[in-house]
Structure 1
Amino acid sequence: MSTPRRVLVIGGGAAGNAATILLRRAGIDVDLVEAKDDWNATAGSGITLQGNALRVLRELGVWEEVKAAGFPFGSVGITAPDGTVLHVQRDLRTGGDDLPATVGMQRPRLQQILIDAVRAAGATVRLGTTATILDQDATGVTVRLSDGREHRYDLVIAADGLGSATRAQIGIADKPEPTGMAIWRVAAPRPAGVQHTDLAYGGPAFIAGYCPTSDTTLYAYVVEKNRDRASIPPESYAEEMVRLASAYGGAWPEITATITDPAKVNYTWFDRLLVEGAWHRGRVVLVGDAAHCCPPTMAQGAALSLEDSWVLAQMLIASDTWDDELLQAYYERRIARVRPVVEGSVQIGRWQLDGVRDADVPGLMARTMTMLRELP
């Protein structure tokens, strides 16, 4: 690279942290701003990381820590609502044969590993800070931070999530749309017999499942048709999740006995977003949930976000010219991979909402996962 470069990353989630680590490793100056004072270090219950996510985490240099903190496994069980195991399916190793098919993790633990890696990389981090795009030209972007100071950057990477303020600031009108489903999530102790994800279809919910996240923990979830959030007071969250989950057998009675604190239960609608045409305007470019999101029916949200940052960083590092052509090439490389995952994830949910009993969910999943095994 012929001249020093300076990049602003807006958002300190998985995508923003990954972009920061990779660019700093290449010697590029990076400022990272995150709106939350705590850097989201305690948010969330659990996360399912499939092989293609693990592949990027290995590139970030944190794979050994992830492996030690998480729970690797290689199959998924399909059960009846009463807990009877109907089938155990081996998962495809989308990250290659030298990585597990899946690792379950406590989401705060993954975030802390990435935070530590960002700090070690030497990025400038400003927490409790937002950014406003003031203007830009062919050479860079002028940004005002919420502390009132203005800065000039060669590139701005918007990794500020599903409700991205940056996306709107640069004139991209796309917004997330609800798919009609919602999910209850909670972290809980792991019953000894839980060795992989189990999914029960039917009963009072569309899906009741859980994923081990360490030797001692798991996260459990129940998916239903979305309801008006205003009709569910937060103090009832534990009661509501227990009401739904109590219809399920197997490990569920042991899990539901621990769901007592409504503050530890999360209720979220499923959304869909896929920005079309380009993920940039000038020298401001979207990554992760700011550009796309989908229901977690394929457990690919974090993986696609991590891939975005990996691909974009590779392209930026390899080029002396950061221009419209380069950023459009990034979009075209990613959209071909992201679109089938977004559309497939939404389709699985639609089949459930519509009560389609002969839907080819296994076939759709197999085709998509086979595609994801290829390098992004």
Structure 2
Amino acid sequence: MNSARTVLVVGGGAAGNAITVLLRRAGLDVDLIEAKDDWNATAGSGITLQGNALRVLRELGVWKQVEASGYGFGSVGITAPDGTVLHAQEDIRSGGDDLPATVGMQRPRLQRILIDAVRASGARVRLGVKATTFDQDHGGVTVRFTDGSEGRYDLVVAADGLGSATRAAIGITAKPEPTGMAIWRAAAPRPEGLVRTDLAYGGPAHIAGYCPTGATTLYAYVVETNRDRASIPPETYADEMRRLASAYGGFWPEITEHITDPAQVNYTWFDRMLVEGSWHRGRVVLIGDAAHCCPPTLAQGAALSLEDAWVLAQMLTATEDWDDALLQAYYERRVARVRPVVEASVQIGQWQLDGVRDADVPGLMGSTMTMLRELP
């Protein structure tokens, strides 16, 4: 591999950070730009990482930090709204038997671990900078930036998320579409005895759940039919989430009493998107949420994004021919795995919206996670 080859990574989330580390390890010259000055270092409450995400984090060399910072567990409970456990089952270890089935952790902590890995890799990082134009020819891409500078690259990797400006700039017209659901999320102290994710279906919300994220922390979430965001003033976010959550029993009363600060409550619609046909135009290629997104009903958003980075890095570093055929092969390899996850994630939510009482949610979860045990 020609170590003089240059790559621009647009976006410093999980996918962008991961591919930066992997390409730098292979000796490539990598620039990373991130639009936010703080590199998203404080955003979000918690994240659920399934085994296939952990497998990639191990490849990045950060598994030990993740393991020490998060909370690993191996089962999921289904409860009635009053907290009665109706069913508990062992999670499938989609990353292999030598990794936990699931790790919950605080999202800012995961981002800090990945930021440190990027810094240690020697990549050049610029924060508060966006790409404005991508001028391509047969030899590469000339990129102009909002700070007035420009650079020449052999490849641009667009990891700039759901609303990817790069996706639009290269003429891919796909956009996220609402699924009809929305989620309230908040961090809270972890009650003693809460050692796994439990999901309650029914009640005033479609789903109420929580995930332990550390020795003393968790994040809680409540899923409802989406509402016009303009009808919910941000200063009422804590009241709205607490109103929904207060109908649930079990650990919920102890969790709910800590949902008091509206600034610490996040409200987000569920979206779906899968870019069809190819994830590249010339030498600009999409990864992560820029290429696909799905509701978090299977907790696979970050995992699929990390897998994209791992697979693309493998393919780029295995050949000198960074051509259309290579990038098309990347798409075909990934879409065969991503599509069933997107479809299953949407289906689980649609069953809730439609009030399907006999839906086989555990069965669909199980078959999808079994597929994900295979290497991407």
- Following superposition, the deviation at residue 2 of structure 1 comes to 3.8
DSSP 3-state at the match of 2:179 = strand
Deviation string 1:42-64 (CA, Å, 9 cap, x unpaired) is 00000000000000000000000
* 1:300 aligned onto 2:300: yes
Equivalent residue for 1:40? 40
Aligned AA (1:60): L
- Following superposition, the deviation at residue 367 of structure 1 comes to 1.1
Equivalent residue for 1:285? 285
Equivalent residue for 1:186? 186
In structure 2, how many angstroms separate the alpha carbons of the residues matched to 1:3 and 1:127? 25
Equivalent residue for 1:319? 319
Say if 1:253 and 1:3 are closer, same or farther in 2 by CA, change over 3 A: closer
- Following superposition, the deviation at residue 132 of structure 1 comes to 2.0
* 1:247 aligned onto 2:232: no
Equivalent residue for 1:265? 265
Equivalent residue for 1:147? 147
In structure 2, how many angstroms separate the alpha carbons of the residues matched to 1:216 and 1:86? 26
- Following superposition, the deviation at residue 133 of structure 1 comes to 2.8
Is the Cα–Cα contact under 8 Å of residues 37 and 127 in structure 1 kept in the other structure?
yes
Aligned AA (1:146): T
In structure 2, how many angstroms separate the alpha carbons of the residues matched to 1:43 and 1:50? 20
In structure 2, how many angstroms separate the alpha carbons of the residues matched to 1:134 and 1:163? 17
Aligned AA (1:44): G
Equivalent residue for 2:129? 129
Aligned AA (2:304): L
Deviation string 1:146-190 (CA, Å, 9 cap, x unpaired) is 110111000000000000000000000000000000000000000
Equivalent residue for 1:82? 82
Moved more, 160-169 or 125-134: 125-134
Deviation string 1:213-234 (CA, Å, 9 cap, x unpaired) is 0001000000000000000000
Equivalent residue for 2:31? 31
In structure 2, list runs of 5 or more residues that go unmatched. Answer: none
In structure 2, how many angstroms separate the alpha carbons of the residues matched to 1:192 and 1:32? 42
Deviation string 1:85-137 (CA, Å, 9 cap, x unpaired) is 11111000000000000000000000000000000000000000001233101
Equivalent residue for 1:70? 70
Aligned AA (1:99): L
Alignment of 1:325-364 (within 5 A): 325-364=325-364
Is the Cα–Cα contact under 8 Å of residues 48 and 104 in structure 1 kept in the other structure?
yes
Equivalent residue for 2:165? 165
DSSP 3-state at the match of 1:328 = helix
When the two chains are superposed, the root-mean-square deviation of aligned CA atoms in Å is 0.6
- Following superposition, the deviation at residue 3 of structure 1 comes to 5.7
DSSP 3-state at the match of 2:15 = helix
Is the Cα–Cα contact under 8 Å of residues 133 and 141 in structure 1 kept in the other structure?
no
Aligned AA (2:207): I
Q: How many residues align?
A: 376
In structure 2, how many angstroms separate the alpha carbons of the residues matched to 1:359 and 1:233? 35
- Following superposition, the deviation at residue 361 of structure 1 comes to 1.4
Is the Cα–Cα contact under 8 Å of residues 3 and 29 in structure 2 kept in the other structure?
no
Equivalent residue for 1:211? 211
Of all paired residues, the percent bearing the same amino acid is 82
In structure 1, list runs of 5 or more residues that go unmatched. Answer: none
Is the Cα–Cα contact under 8 Å of residues 3 and 28 in structure 2 kept in the other structure?
no
In structure 2, how many angstroms separate the alpha carbons of the residues matched to 1:313 and 1:3? 14
Aligned AA (2:5): R
Deviation string 1:251-307 (CA, Å, 9 cap, x unpaired) is 100011011100000000000000000000000000000000000000000000000
* 1:176 aligned onto 2:176: yes
Give me the TM-score of the superposition, normalised by structure 1. 0.99
In structure 2, how many angstroms separate the alpha carbons of the residues matched to 1:197 and 1:363? 17
Equivalent residue for 1:370? 370
In structure 1, how many angstroms separate the alpha carbons of the residues matched to 2:222 and 2:207? 6
Aligned AA (2:156): V
Say if 1:3 and 1:77 are closer, same or farther in 2 by CA, change over 3 A: closer
